[in-house]
Every structure is written in C-alpha cells, then in structure tokens.
C-alpha cells in the first residue's frame, strides 16, 4: 500500500507540475492573444475612421458637384434665352444644311461658293463708302412680295 501511495503522490506531484506549467503557458498565450486582439481592434478602428472620412469627403464633393451642375444648367438656360441666341442656333442649322447640300448635290458647291463670295463682298461694301449711306437711306432690295390684305382677291 505504501508503494501505491508513493506512486499516487509522485503522480499527483507530476500532475500539479504539469497543471501549473500549462496554466503559465496558457496565461502567456492569453496575454499574446489579448495583445493581438487589441492591435487588430486598433487597426480596425483606424481603418473605419479613414473610410468614414473618405466617404464624408466623397459625399461633400458629390453635393458640391450637384450644386455646380445645377448652377451650370441654370446659366446655360439663361444664355439660351438671351437675344440673338435663337438666331445663332438657326445659323448653325443652316450651315449644317448647306454643308450637306455641298456634299450630296453635284454642281451646288461651285454655285454656292460663288454666291457666298459675292454676298461677302457686298456685305463688306455696306460698311464702307457711299453704299453704306444708301443702305441707311433706302430700304434693301428683297425677292419677297409685299402683299396687303386688301390686295388679295378671292378667285372662287
């Protein structure tokens, strides 16, 4: 029986030593784990702060761009309403139509270029010399017929 008690005592001492050794090792692992968790929490908090700042900046920039876009839209609408703007747009449309005719119609290009040159020369003359004076005094010649309502006869 004594041998059993001695074996039991030795086993118990070994078990206690192993238990203490594991507790010490476990405490060390827990300490390292807690440090790693704290480090990861700090990294996560920093990343969330950076991302929230970035999102805030993007939202602010988006709002500023929306305001600038609205201001530009209003300015564009106001400029389109200015006097002469409709005429400029109509001139652009006419220019595109003339360009298409020059490309698509043979013979139109040469006639158009000569008519354009004559018109430019005549327009230049209206600002110099006596022709400018006569243009102011006399009305310009047009090909349009002037019809008053009294001159129209119903042919039925």
At 119-153, the pLDDT tens digits run 778 777 766 666 655 655 565 555 545 444 444 44
The domain containing residue 104 runs over which residues?
84-126
**Nearest partner of 100 among 92, 114, 58, judged by Cα:** 92
Q: Is the same domain home to 64 and 1?
A: yes
pLDDT score at 76: 84
Q: Is the same domain home to 22 and 46?
A: yes
Q: Is 34 a member of any domain?
A: yes
Q: Is the same domain home to 39 and 5?
A: yes
Q: Is the same domain home to 59 and 89?
A: no
Q: Is the same domain home to 89 and 77?
A: no
Domain's final residue, options 17, 49, 81: 81
Q: Is 4 a member of any domain?
A: yes
Residue 23 contacts residue 16 (beta carbons within 8 Å) = no
Q: Is the same domain home to 40 and 55?
A: yes
Q: Is the same domain home to 68 and 93?
A: no
Q: Is 107 a member of any domain?
A: yes
Q: Is 133 a member of any domain?
A: no
Residue 110 has pLDDT above 70, yes or no: yes
Q: Is the same domain home to 105 and 67?
A: no
- pTM, two decimals, is 0.37
pLDDT in tens, 6-27: 888 899 999 999 888 888 777 7
Q: Is 142 a member of any domain?
A: no
What is the total count of domains within the chain?
A: 2
Q: Is the same domain home to 53 and 106?
A: no
Cα 117 to Cα 94: distance, rounded to the nearest angstrom? 17
- DSSP code per residue over the chain: -HHHHHHHHHHHHHHHHHHHHHHHHHHHHHHHHHHHHHHHHHHHHHHHHHHHHHHHHHHHHHHHHHHHHHHHHHHHHHHHHSTTHHHHHHHHHHHHHHHHHHHHSTTHHHHHHHHHHHHHHHHHHTTSHHHHHHHHHSPPP-SPPP--TTT-----
């Amino acid at each position: 029986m004594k041998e059993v008690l001695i074996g039991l005592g030795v086993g118990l001492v070994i078990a206690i030593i192993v238990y203490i050794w594991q507790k010490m090792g476990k405490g060390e692992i827990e300490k390292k784990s807690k440090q790693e968790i704290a480090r990861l929490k700090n990294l996560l908090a920093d990343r969330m702060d950076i991302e929230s700042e970035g999102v805030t900046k993007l939202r602010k920039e988006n709002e500023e761009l929306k305001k600038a876009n609205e201001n530009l839209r209003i300015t564009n609408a106001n400029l389109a309403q200015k006097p002469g703007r409709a005429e400029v747009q109509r001139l652009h449309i006419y220019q595109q139509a003339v360009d298409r005719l020059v490309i698509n119609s043979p013979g139109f290009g040469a006639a158009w270029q000569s008519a354009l040159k004559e018109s430019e020369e005549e327009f230049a003359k209206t600002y110099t010399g006596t022709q400018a004076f006569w243009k102011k005094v006399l009305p310009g010649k047009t090909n349009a017929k002037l019809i008053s309502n009294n001159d129209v006869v119903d042919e039925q």
